[in-house]
Each structure stands twice: as structure tokens, then as C-alpha cells.
Chain A
């Protein structure tokens, strides 16, 4: 009853103050709830993307006799038998010459396979059914639909088939995987030559082989699972891999499962963990800031609270009563704030994603909302209850009453140098994490679980906290010891009152230092979040560019002769900026067939961005420069350097196909450097050389790919344009589409939602931290201003007090915030380096956004200043009467 009376009074007559505190709680709750909902929806997107990306969920290899059992298994929605046979080589006769290949594999596909598992085959030329050649094999044989190819069979005469089409096998790695290979085994390279046959043709050709040489053939069943999986990749992974093991056990050794879906989900769960880390790292400071703001708001009522406490104790209230009342207040603030926060979160979701739950399921949304509400209540309790409990500690009422309005002295942490310790520890932890290669997501080999090394986060967290406290110290020191300097600097604003203004600021330095520190922390939050986000987005773009090559890539059909002059025809299409021809050939490095890219070193970087991280042993500019200086220079992969023990300048003999004779001949190159990644290049080994040299040596200047930059048009539009103009001969891909398809890492998840939330909150917090705190400070000094006004100070003179303080807060927050944001952004990008693919060469700074934050912070400051001056202009005696 006592509590109810108290609470009712507070709600009726202190609503404004409670609401102000609730706003802080609401901000934290809203931030956490919307980030959490976003995180869950991002995770479910990752699961969905993994499922979509895998063309065949399971490849079950074993005895053909298991087929009835598999067909009876209810977990599959689609199951098809695929037969594999080895061949010693293929042979084709074109234009009067015979071309042969090395060993390869011949697959027997059931009818409708391409439709059932669309990701496995991509038709390039001719039909998608019938006898099909893999792209590289077709190039080797110079075969086209209608040609006849001879297939070598072990122990039997070669058989002849007529080619119906050429296909690409985008998932060759998983298609030709060694099913049942032990964990951690070297992945098996897909065969160089592949021929796909209809099932009946395969059986006609290879059943006799199977009979005589069973080691030459094997049978797989390709399956699609029911995709009723948990939304979280980790859960989905556990379910799928568990199910795979279960099947193997049931097959009792007659079959093994190649768990492609499990592998994809396994990779996704690491990404999901990274997303969680991002959430934690970007969201936590926002929530902490909101909490600090709440504490400051409630702290501004400290004098009132102490007076009330003293009075209640005079009337016989025990400490427990005081704490009960404070708890009631905290809960009221927490509940109101949490409710408002959830409302804001729902609104944010609706605005940013079109649905209140960010596309997450109701259950997970509720889970996150519950967590956010708990966090909000914790903030309310910390901000309201803790100070009350501290005040209630006094042994007697008399000493509590004496405490009212007690002088403020430097806080203990300042005297013990806590800020400096935090910074030193941050440096040490960062250094230690660096020695560990910034590995924060740990995937222990052979274990189904993965974990996060959260302690690496201590470094940025400590740096952030240390920077805030250091800002406090610097401001405190500057306003104390540096008072003459402040007086001199404030002279332009304050004139003859400069010393008085400096003295006022000096006395208020605890308050001002707090404001500057919080404002600086907000600047740091906004700065690091936006820099991290911009860098992340830039890298996602770079990743897409690496995959696609450029804004738009025109890939000519294999075998077609396309001279560099074609570039002019492409350049004539509206919206095209720069066109860069890129030769694509195959070259034998020893027995290994690798992709070879011929470039024009001078113009290449105009079409696509080459990052230093793509190369090793020099910057991108240096290595491309080496190519430019030496015509026969070649950049090779790290494996090649290792395999051939290459040193710079060493000769490297490659076998390339001659454009005139179609025969492979040896061309001499010189090793000039290492290329780890290259636009359009595969992830494994490849070569980069001068296009002119390759053309001269092979007698053919045919271009495989044109890299096109868009100008004034989106890549997607330009690609459509080009498709219209160039016809269907060439394959045209654009950055926008690729951006959505590349799914190797977090880049697949559109972080735009996450950033929209965070950046919006950063702006709101910046406005609150600067404007609100300053306004609170001015309110506390209303009496000072009123008295000064009564003493004859005109608005302009009072403005000197207000604007000097505004200037101190602005300059302090911007300077210290900027100074701290820079190293923190670096640290964050370094620590979260695993998120980036490829790792960034430098930070990308979103100046426009930062400008917006600064502008809004300034507007808030100016508004607070103007409000203070307007309040001063009220007839002073109304203020004096209020006091």
C-alpha cells in the first residue's frame, strides 16, 4: 500500500522525470530487440541460402541394391540414381585432326536429372539432355554439338557417342567428391574431363565394364531432403548431419553419405556466429550508451532523491522501505521504457523491413524481445536502484541529510588512473589476439560444435571504455588546470566575462566532463559502426567484383573466336564506361591444367578493383607493374611456387594450346609474383600473364571475357541492355545479381538492415547525448543564469556562458571521439577480420553519414543552447520563485 501510494504520486506528479528515464531504457530495449530480431532473421536467411545453394543435398554412394531401401525412406523428397565410370580418355575428330584428352569420368544421369537438381548442370551450348560434354572437355576436344566423341572403356573397345550439348558443372567439387573421405582429408580435385550420358546409354556402354571391372564404376543416389529444418544454421547442421549418420548406420556399411547440405550448413553456422558477434559488438555499446544516458537522467534528480530519502527516514522508514520504494520506481521506469522500446522496435521493423518481426518467426522474436526487456529492466534497476541504495547506506539520517548537495570531488577512478589502465589492457589484449591471428570463431576439427573466443572482444570494449574515461579526464583536467587557456579561448565568445565564464566552467567540470565523455562515446559508436559497416559493404562489393570481374562481365562462348576489337562494339552500347578485354585460356603447369588470364597491365585497373590482398610479395600496383615491364612475366599461385620451388625471375614453362594448330605447345614465362585472387578466376590455382605475349606466342588474340564498367546506369540495367544488343552468344553477368548469389560468407547476408538500425540509433543517441545532457546541465544551472540575469546580465552576456559550454562540448566530443574512433575502427576490423572476404586493404570512411551525425549533434547542441537562452529570457523572477 505504501508502495502504491508512492508510485501513484510519482506517476501523477513526476511523470516528466520518469518519462525521461524511460526514454533511455526504451532506446536500449528498442535497439536490442530490433537487432535481435534482425539477427534471427539473418540466421534463418543463412540457413535458407545454404539450402538453396546446395544442388544435391546428399550423395549416397554404395551398392545399387540399397535403392529400394532409399526409396522407402520418407526423409527424401527426390532421389535419383547416378552412375560414374572411369575412362582413360576421350577422342574427337574435328576439321581433319584428332584431339585426345587425358583420363576422365563418364556419368550416367537419369532423365529429368537437370530439372530435379538445377544447380548441378548449366547448359552452355545445345540441349540440356542427351550426351553432354563439360565446358573444359569441349574446349580441349574442340567439340561442338553434333560432333562425335570416342569414349575409352577399360577392357573393352572404345564406344562412340554424338554430342548434344556443352554444359558447365558449377558444383563439380561436390559432384566428384570422394564420399566417405575422412574429416580433414585433402579435397579431391574434380576430373579434368567429364562426359555426361543418359542413363540408358551409360548402362549400354558401361554395364559390361561394371561386370568385368567393378572397380571402374560406382553408383550414387542423389537425394533432396525435406527441408523442415531449424532456422538457426547450427541447429539445422546438427539435424542434417545427425540424420546422415543415422542413414549410414541403417545402411549397415552398404552406403555412405556425402553430406553436401551438412557441409554448407556447417560453413553457415560459423557465419551465423560471426553475425552474432557483429550483433554483440555493434549493439552492445549502443545499449550501454543508452543505459549511461538513463543513469545520467536519473542522476540529475539525486538531490531531490536524497531529500526525500532523508524525510522518509525521519518519518521512520527503514532502509528496506527505501529500497522497496526505489525498486518500485525502477520497475515503473523499466516497464514503461521496455513497452515503449518494443513499440519502437516493431515500428523500426515495419519501416526498415516491412514487417514488425524483421521476417523472424514469432517465437524467436518473442525470445529476443524477452531478452531486450530484461536488459531494459536491468538498466532501470542499475540507474534508479543503485544510487538509491548507495544513498540509503548512511548510518544515521543526520549524516544522510548532511550529504544533500555535498561538494563534488574527483571520482575515484580518475585518481587511480583507471582510464589509462583500461587503455593499456586493451592494447595488451589486442596484441595477444593478434598473435593468435585474430581467430575468434573456433571450429575445432572433428567436433560438431563451434565456439567464439569472446575474450578477443575485451580489446575494443576496453579501448572504448578507456577512451570515454580518458575524454573525461582530459576535459576535467583542461577545465581545472587549463582554466587560463579556456579563458583565453573563450574570449571571442565571452569578451570581458571570459575569466568568469572559465571559472564557471571550471566549477562545473565534473558535469561538463561527463557530458563530453558521453558525447565522445556516442561519436565513437557512430564512427566505428559506420566505418565498419562501410568497410564491410565495400568488401562485399569487392567480393562480388572478384567473382564477377567488373560491374558487368561479358563471357564469350568457349571455342568462339572473339578479337579484342569486339570491345568497340560493346563500348558503343549506352551506359558503358570502360571495356577491358581479358583473355581466358587453359595452360598445363606440369601435369596440372590451370586457368590462364591474359591482361593488359596498363588498362586493367580501370575496369576492376585490384586489392593488395589479392597478391603476395608486393602491392597490386607493384605486381601489375612487373607484368607491364616484362612481357613474359607471369603471376602464379602459391601452390605452384611451392610445387616448383620458384624464385623471382625463374623460368616457367607452360603448355598452351596454339590457336592455329590446336595443339599444345610450350611457351616460356618468367615467374614475377604470387596472385592469390583475381577477378573471375577460380579459387584454386591460376596464372596471370600479359595478353599481348600470350597472343603472340599462341597465334591467337581471342578474348574470353570483357570486363565492362557501368556509367550512369546500374550494372543490372546495363547487363540487360548489353544482352539486347549483343545477342545470346555471350553470357552476360552483372555485379548486382552476383552480389546476391555469392554465398561463401557473411557477404551473402544483406547487412543493410543491421546497419540501418544501428546508424539510426547512433544518430538518435548522438542527438540525445549532446543535446539532452547539455540541456540537463543548463537546467541544473537555471538558478545561476536567473541570478546572473537579475544582476543585469543581458541575453547576449548569458549567451557567453551557454555558447562557451556548447563549444567546449562540441570540440571536446568531436576531437576526442574522432581520435578514439580511428584506432577503434582499425581494431574492430582487425579483430573481425574473419568476417571479411577478402580482408580489406584499408578502412572505408562514410563521410556523408559522419557528416550527418556531426550535423545532427550540432543541431542538438545548438537547440539545447538556444533553449537555455530562451529559458533565461523568461522573466527571471518566475524562475527564482520556482527554485
Chain B
């Protein structure tokens, strides 16, 4: 196994002075290629900040993060990281297929093969018939499936999902999380999912719990 990301004594403070909030502190952890981890915790516990740090979207205030398997930084090359957010994350002006194809185009793929891959990915998550719809014409569950398809199509090494099912009801939520887990398994990608829902967390083999900005491995919560 090779190490995908390694955090050493990482802290992240938002704001400054008296208004500053310590979102994450003293976090050290490591993810190997193919790891699948759920990060649980109450709101404000620092889950989102931790995910942003892992995905390379944010920088630690102190401590260090390394991505040995990702050429130093996940954003050094397009397409290494796939992101799924809680809210709508599709680009409003693009239809579903264009949304899925966008990361491929950004990675330099030619338009035609990019579109073919996009349609494939949409079909694989069961929304192949929605390729021409605009985000505003999709329901929450459909939009989240398209977001998953967008991650799949780019074959990322790391998938980071922040409350991917927060706005879905239970049956839809479980479907989406299963799709993500299956996709990560197929791609051999590392998957990190933040959730406050124990049922969702239960679908992943490893669980970390965040509490007041600190992290502990939580194997007690069984599926």
C-alpha cells in the first residue's frame, strides 16, 4: 500500500483575533490508497475543515500535510480529486452530460471522448436518461447522482464527499452512498465521507469521529 495523504499535527484556525475559531487542531492521520473512511461528528466539530484540508482546498494554519501518491498536491494535476458536496454542486448553466464531462475537458481530454465517458458514467449511476437536463430540472437525488457520475468519469485517486446525502431522504441517501462506495472500490480510489448519519457511516469500513476539532479512530460504532 502506498500512502495517499498524511497529516501531521495539523491545526486550522478560521478568522483572527478574538473572533477566531479553532476548527481543527492536533490532527494526525494517514490514508492509504483504497481506504474508505467515514468522518462523523456533530455540526461544528470540524468535519468539513478536515475534508477541505485532505482535498487540498484549504491550508493548515500549523502542521503539515503531504500527498506522496498525488505528486505532492492533489490539485497539482486536474482530475486527481473528486469532490461531492452536500448542496447542489452542479454548474447551473451546463446540462448533466456537460457537467460530468467538464473535469475531463479540464484535464485536457478531447470533447468527443469526454462526452462519451460522461454518458457512460451517467448510465452507470442510473441516470443515463437525464443527460440533457439542466441542474434546475433535476431533483435533489438525481442531482446528487449526477455529481457522483462526475466523480466516476474522471477516475480520481481521491474522492472527498462532504455530507453527500444531507438533503436526501433515507432510501435515496443510502443509494447514493452505495454508489460512491462501489465506485471507489472499482476505481481503487481512496474515499472520505463526512456525515452525521450513523447509517451512512455504517456503509464504510472505517470510521473516524471528530469532536471539537480533534480526531479519534472510532471502531466502536458498528454498522
Interface residues of A (CB under 8 A from B): 405, 407, 496-500, 503-504, 506-508, 781, 783-784, 787-788, 790-794, 797, 875-877, 880, 883
CB–CB B78/A507 < 8 A: no
A877 / chain B contacts, CB cutoff of 8 Å: 52, 57-58
B42 located at the interface, meaning its Cβ lies under 8 Å from any Cβ of chain A in the complex: no
CB–CB A791/B103 < 8 A: yes
Among B85-93, B168-176, B187-195, B197-205, the one that faces the other chain is: B85-93
B182 located at the interface, meaning its Cβ lies under 8 Å from any Cβ of chain A in the complex: no
**Measured CA separation A781–B103 after assembly (Å):** 18
Among B32-40, B108-116, B121-129, B214-222, the one that faces the other chain is: B108-116
Measured CB to CB, the nearest residue on chain B to A801 is B93
Q: Which of A499, A784, A883 makes the CB contact (< 8 A) with B91? A: A784
CB–CB B57/A503 < 8 A: no
Given contacts A503-B93, A880-B85, 19 further A-B contacts (CB under 8 A): A496-B111, A499-B111, A500-B102, A503-B95, A504-B91, A507-B94, A783-B92, A787-B89, A790-B57, A791-B102, A791-B106, A792-B75, A792-B79, A792-B81, A792-B103, A794-B78, A875-B59, A877-B57, A883-B87
Find residues 59-99 in chain B having any chain A CB closer than 8 Å to their own CB: 59, 75, 78-81, 83, 85, 87, 89-95, 98
A788 / chain B contacts, CB cutoff of 8 Å: 91, 102, 106
A507 / chain B contacts, CB cutoff of 8 Å: 92-94, 134
Measured CB to CB, the nearest residue on chain A to B59 is A875
Q: Which of B58, B92, B98, B102 makes the CB contact (< 8 A) with A875? A: B58
CB–CB B91/A496 < 8 A: no
B105 located at the interface, meaning its Cβ lies under 8 Å from any Cβ of chain A in the complex: yes
**Measured CA separation A617–B52 after assembly (Å):** 83
**Measured CA separation A497–B93 after assembly (Å):** 14
**Measured CA separation A506–B94 after assembly (Å):** 10
In the complex where A500-B105, A507-B93 touch, is A790 in contact with B78 (Cβ < 8 A)? no
CB–CB B109/A496 < 8 A: yes
B103 / chain A contacts, CB cutoff of 8 Å: 791-792
Measured CB to CB, the nearest residue on chain A to B87 is A883
**Measured CA separation A794–B90 after assembly (Å):** 18
**Measured CA separation A877–B162 after assembly (Å):** 12
A781 / chain B contacts, CB cutoff of 8 Å: 93
B136 located at the interface, meaning its Cβ lies under 8 Å from any Cβ of chain A in the complex: yes
Measured CB to CB, the nearest residue on chain A to B57 is A877
A784 / chain B contacts, CB cutoff of 8 Å: 91-93
Q: Which of A405, A783, A875 makes the CB contact (< 8 A) with B136? A: A405
In the complex where A507-B93, A784-B93 touch, is A407 in contact with B83 (Cβ < 8 A)? no
In the complex where A496-B108, A497-B105 touch, is A791 in contact with B93 (Cβ < 8 A)? no
B107 located at the interface, meaning its Cβ lies under 8 Å from any Cβ of chain A in the complex: yes
B202 CB → nearest A CB, Å: 28
Q: Which of B78, B91, B98, B134 makes the CB contact (< 8 A) with A787? A: B91
B211 CB → nearest A CB, Å: 22
CB–CB B78/A793 < 8 A: yes
Find residues 10-39 in chain B having any chain A CB closer than 8 Å to their own CB: none
A508 / chain B contacts, CB cutoff of 8 Å: 93
A804 CB → nearest B CB, Å: 13
**Measured CA separation A792–B79 after assembly (Å):** 7
A878 CB → nearest B CB, Å: 9
**Measured CA separation A292–B109 after assembly (Å):** 43
A496 / chain B contacts, CB cutoff of 8 Å: 105, 108-111
A801 CB → nearest B CB, Å: 10
**Measured CA separation A586–B150 after assembly (Å):** 95
B110 CB → nearest A CB, Å: 6
A706 CB → nearest B CB, Å: 72
CB–CB B57/A792 < 8 A: no
Top-8 shortest CB links A-B = A792-B78, A507-B93, A504-B93, A877-B57, A791-B103, A793-B106, A792-B106, A784-B91
Measured CB to CB, the nearest residue on chain B to A791 is B103
A-B pairs with beta carbons under 8 Å apart, 27 shown? A496-B105, A496-B109, A496-B111, A497-B105, A499-B111, A500-B101, A503-B98, A504-B94, A507-B92, A507-B94, A784-B92, A784-B93, A788-B106, A791-B150, A792-B78, A792-B79, A792-B81, A792-B103, A792-B106, A793-B78, A793-B102, A875-B59, A877-B52, A877-B57, A877-B58, A880-B85, A883-B87
Measured CB to CB, the nearest residue on chain B to A509 is B93
CB–CB A792/B111 < 8 A: no
**Measured CA separation A788–B83 after assembly (Å):** 11
B150 / chain A contacts, CB cutoff of 8 Å: 791
B58 / chain A contacts, CB cutoff of 8 Å: 875, 877
Measured CB to CB, the nearest residue on chain A to B110 is A496
In the complex where A405-B136, A790-B57, A790-B83 touch, is A797 in contact with B106 (Cβ < 8 A)? yes
A506 / chain B contacts, CB cutoff of 8 Å: 93
**Measured CA separation A589–B218 after assembly (Å):** 119
A504 / chain B contacts, CB cutoff of 8 Å: 91, 93-94
Of A507, A788, A790, A791, most B-chain CB atoms within 10 Å: A791
B103 CB → nearest A CB, Å: 5
B87 / chain A contacts, CB cutoff of 8 Å: 883
A719 CB → nearest B CB, Å: 67
**Measured CA separation A504–B134 after assembly (Å):** 11
B192 CB → nearest A CB, Å: 15
Measured CB to CB, the nearest residue on chain A to B75 is A792
**Measured CA separation A500–B100 after assembly (Å):** 11
CB–CB A407/B136 < 8 A: yes
Of A496, A504, A506, A792, most B-chain CB atoms within 10 Å: A792
B16 CB → nearest A CB, Å: 14
Measured CB to CB, the nearest residue on chain A to B77 is A792
**Measured CA separation A504–B93 after assembly (Å):** 5
Of B81, B94, B108, most A-chain CB atoms within 10 Å: B94
**Measured CA separation A666–B105 after assembly (Å):** 93
B194 CB → nearest A CB, Å: 14
Measured CB to CB, the nearest residue on chain A to B93 is A507
**Measured CA separation A792–B75 after assembly (Å):** 7
CB–CB B92/A791 < 8 A: no
**Measured CA separation A504–B135 after assembly (Å):** 13
Of B91, B92, B102, B109, most A-chain CB atoms within 10 Å: B91
B91 / chain A contacts, CB cutoff of 8 Å: 504, 784, 787-788
A883 / chain B contacts, CB cutoff of 8 Å: 87
A794 / chain B contacts, CB cutoff of 8 Å: 78, 106
A879 CB → nearest B CB, Å: 11
B78 / chain A contacts, CB cutoff of 8 Å: 791-794
A407 / chain B contacts, CB cutoff of 8 Å: 136
Measured CB to CB, the nearest residue on chain B to A880 is B85
Of B52, B58, B78, B92, most A-chain CB atoms within 10 Å: B92
CB–CB A503/B94 < 8 A: yes
B107 CB → nearest A CB, Å: 7
Measured CB to CB, the nearest residue on chain A to B115 is A499
A793 / chain B contacts, CB cutoff of 8 Å: 78, 102, 106
**Measured CA separation A790–B85 after assembly (Å):** 11
**Measured CA separation A781–B94 after assembly (Å):** 12
CB–CB B98/A500 < 8 A: yes
**Measured CA separation A789–B109 after assembly (Å):** 17
CB–CB B92/A792 < 8 A: no
CB–CB A876/B57 < 8 A: yes
B52 / chain A contacts, CB cutoff of 8 Å: 877
B62 CB → nearest A CB, Å: 17
Measured CB to CB, the nearest residue on chain B to A506 is B93
Measured CB to CB, the nearest residue on chain B to A877 is B57
**Measured CA separation A794–B75 after assembly (Å):** 9
Measured CB to CB, the nearest residue on chain B to A883 is B87
**Measured CA separation A54–B159 after assembly (Å):** 90
Measured CB to CB, the nearest residue on chain A to B49 is A877
Measured CB to CB, the nearest residue on chain A to B89 is A787
**Measured CA separation A499–B57 after assembly (Å):** 27
A792 / chain B contacts, CB cutoff of 8 Å: 75, 78-81, 103, 106-107
B187 CB → nearest A CB, Å: 16
**Measured CA separation A784–B99 after assembly (Å):** 11
Measured CB to CB, the nearest residue on chain B to A790 is B83
Measured CB to CB, the nearest residue on chain B to A407 is B136
Of B52, B78, B102, B106, most A-chain CB atoms within 10 Å: B106
